[in-house]
Structure formats: C-alpha cells, structure tokens
Amino acid sequence: MAERDTTDPCPLPLRTAYTAQEALVVEDDAGNAEAARITTILEGILVTKGLLAKGEADQEIEKIETPGLHLGARLVARAWVDPDFKNRLLADGKLAAAELGMKVGEAQLVVVENTPDVHNLIVCTLCSCYPRSILGQPPSWYISKTYRSRAVREPRTVLHEFGLDIPEAVRVRVHDSNADMRYLVLPMPPAETVGRHEIDLAGLVSRDMLIGTAVLQR
C-alpha cells in the first residue's frame, strides 16, 4: 500500500509549472474529428484482419458505459448496514463486490475505510488508474497532471481546494493506484443508519466521496 509521509522531504523536482492547457490537454474540434476518423478506420482494419468482430466494439462500449456511481454507492450502503459485509469488503473488495453481482475487471479492488482518525484519498500519479469497473470513467480532474502530481505532495491543500478541510488531528492517507490495484474509499456513514433503507443510504453517496475529495456531512 503506497503511503507517503507528506512532511518527508523527497528528492523530486519541486516545481513543474503546468499551464492550464498542459494540466489537462483537451482536443479542439479538428483534433476530435481527426481522432474519431482514425479510430473508426482502425476498427475497420482490425475487423478486416479478423482481430475484432463487426459490432463487437459497440457491445463493449455499452459494457463500459454501464458502471458508475450507482455500483459504488450500493457497495458502501451495504457496508454501512451490514458489518459482516463491511469486513469482507475491506478484506477483499473484488470478492465482496461479486456477492452483489458486480464484476470487478481489475486484478484487485482495495477498499480503504475512513474513520474519525483517518481520511483516505485516491490518486494515480503515473497514469490514471481508477476503479472503472465499479465507478466508470474517471472525472477529468482526476486525470489532470496537476491532481496526479500534487495529491501525494500536499493532499491537505488539494482537499482544501475541493472545499474539504481535514482537521490536523486526522491523519490523511494517500493511496497511489496502479494498473493492477485500484482503490475505493469507504466513507464514514451518516450519524444514524439504524432503520434506514439501504437504497436511501446509497443516495447519500457521491462519486467524490469514493475518491476521498468529499465527505458526507454528518
């Protein structure tokens, strides 16, 4: 598990100034049109060569469009009402997700629990690894070079910019994802969960809570 002490001086280039454009490179209309054309042609060539079946990419697109917050929220809500499930979720995210019929495509899903003493934050500094089979496509800021570089260096400042001030007494733990290991934050539950329906609880969960850039107001 990647955990860095943010007070530890590390021998890294301290400042790499990215312009807003560099932090998150966005194609202009011409760039999008060109990329779309190349992608379509590439798919056609791969079909001709027998590597893809016709229409297979469309089916796969449907599959990757399906995951989203609803899946992550269901996992969290179940963990909030069922302590045994929570333990299984923390022990092996992939197995626990399978109990609810969710298939985690990545090698491992590591669920990290927020407590009164620890706040967790997820990043992928090298690339943009994200629990896609549970949450779908990552938000644009998650793949930006500035989030990737700063989240491990000054997480409290980054969280402050997201409107979240973590008290000094609470430890901030930053998890650096990789291709095989994807993280998901288990947020702290609302003050009262007894007698509340799982579905209502799931409705309280936001995507950013599962990344660690937001918390449930308790």
Partner 1 sequence: MRGYHDIGGSLSGPIPRTELPWLDWEKRVEAIRNLLGDSTRRVISLDEMRRGFESFGPEKYRTLSFYRRRLEAMIDILEEKGVLTRAELAAAVENSVQEPGET
Q: Does 199 bind partner 1 (CB under 8 A)?
A: no
Cα–Cα dist 63/155, whole Å: 33
As measured in angstroms, the least distance from the Cβ of 188 to partner 1 is 24
- Give the distance, in angstroms, between the CA of residue 182 and the centroid of all CA atoms in the same chain: 8
Q: What is the DSSP string of 136-188?
A: -SPPHHHHSHHHHHHTTT-HHHHHHHTT----TTSEEEEEE--SSEEEEEEPP
Q: Which of 3, 25, 95, 115 binds partner 1 (CB under 8 A)?
A: 25
Cα separation, 64 vs 133, in Å, equals 8
Give the nearer residue to partner 1 in terms of CB position, either 19 or 217.
19
The yes-or-no answer on residue 10 being catalytic is no
Residue 44 in the binding site for partner 1 (CB under 8 A):
yes
Residue 128 annotated in active site: yes
Nearest to 172 by CA among 125, 127, 123, 205: 123
Looking at the Cβ atoms of 95 and 179, the one nearer to partner 1 is: 179
Q: C-beta of 88: minimal distance to partner 1 in Å?
A: 26
Place of tokens 């590439």: 42
Question: Of 12-20, 81-89, 165-173, 185-193, which part binds partner 1 (CB under 8 A)?
Answer: 12-20
Backbone φ and ψ for 97, nearest 5 degrees, come out as -65, -35
Annotated active-site residue 129? The verdict is: yes
Q: In a 10 Å sphere around its CB, with 0-12 CB exposed, 13-18 middle and 19+ buried, how is residue 53 labelled?
A: exposed
Binding mask 159-178 for partner 1 (x = CB under 8 A): --x--------------x--
**For partner 1, what does the binding mask look like between residues 63 and 92, x meaning CB under 8 A?**
xxx---------------------------
Count of residues that bind partner 1 according to CB under 8 A: 66
Which of 87, 114, 91, 97 minimizes the C-alpha distance to 186? 114
- Does 152 contact partner 1 by CB under 8 A? yes
Burial status of residue 18 (CB atoms within 10 A of its CB: 0-12, 13-18, 19 or more): middle
| Rounded least distance, CB 176 to partner 1, Å | 7
Active-site residues, by number, are 124, 127-129
* Binding residues vs partner 1 (CB under 8 A): 10, 12-20, 22-27, 31-32, 35-46, 49, 51-52, 56-58, 60-61, 63-65, 123, 125-128, 137, 139-141, 143-154, 158, 161, 176, 179
